[in-house]
Amino acid sequence: MKDLKKDLLKIGKITKPIGFKGRLKVVSYIESPQILDSLQEIFIKCSDRNPVNYGVRYVSYSRKSISLELAGVNDTDAARSFIGCDVFVPADRLEKLPEGEYYWHDIIGLTVFTKDGRELGKIDQVFETGSNDVYVCTGGEREILLPAIEDVVMEIDIDQGIMIVDLLEGL
């Protein structure tokens, strides 16, 4: 079985069938859909079940959505059963990043601590702004928006699952 955090990258969520032949519309979570080129397998995870491997018959994409045809999904009724399911690809399709750079899926789920050891919560979302990414930390009393800049993010340890931050005044 594939490990969701290490082996698979979530690329989107299935929203609806397209047409009558089982094609699926997927809201895309990825910035560079070119990782889907020549894709032969995909993993679908519905609710609390383990991800299931499907062969890919057809894939096309735009910036916001992906269109998929999966082996064994041949009609609208079969396609409807996938609405709301998450779509993953093998993480080894990603390029290796330089030291100190991370994919969003590596950041999401990290436990955040202040430099003095106080736990703030977990990163549950990342979004980009014009100048830098922002990490959304939830837990405790409130949601904290952490700019992904050196003055705030002191350390990221993916293996330990932690992020150490220095909260600037106002955060």
Tell me: do 65 and 36 sit in the same domain: yes
Are 79 and 12 found together in one domain?
yes
Looking at the structure of the chain, the number of domains it has is 2
> Is 17 a domain residue?
yes
Tokens representing 138 are 């939830």
pTM of the model: 0.65
Q: Which CATH number goes with the domain that contains 53?
A: 2.40.30.60
**Higher model confidence: residue 57 or residue 128?**
57
Q: What is the mean pLDDT of the chain?
A: 88
Give the per-residue pLDDT at 100: 85
3-state DSSP assignment of residue 33? helix
| pLDDT value for 1 | 47
pLDDT digits (tens, 9 = 90+) for 23-69: 999 998 877 777 788 889 999 999 888 999 999 999 998 768 899 99
Name the DSSP letter for residue 95: P
CATH number (domain holding residue 110): 2.30.30.240
- Per-position DSSP letters for 106-126, written without gaps between them: HHTTPEEEETTS-EEEEEEEE
Q: Are residues 14 and 41 in the same domain?
A: yes
The pLDDT of residue 3: 55
Residue 79: which domain range? 7-93
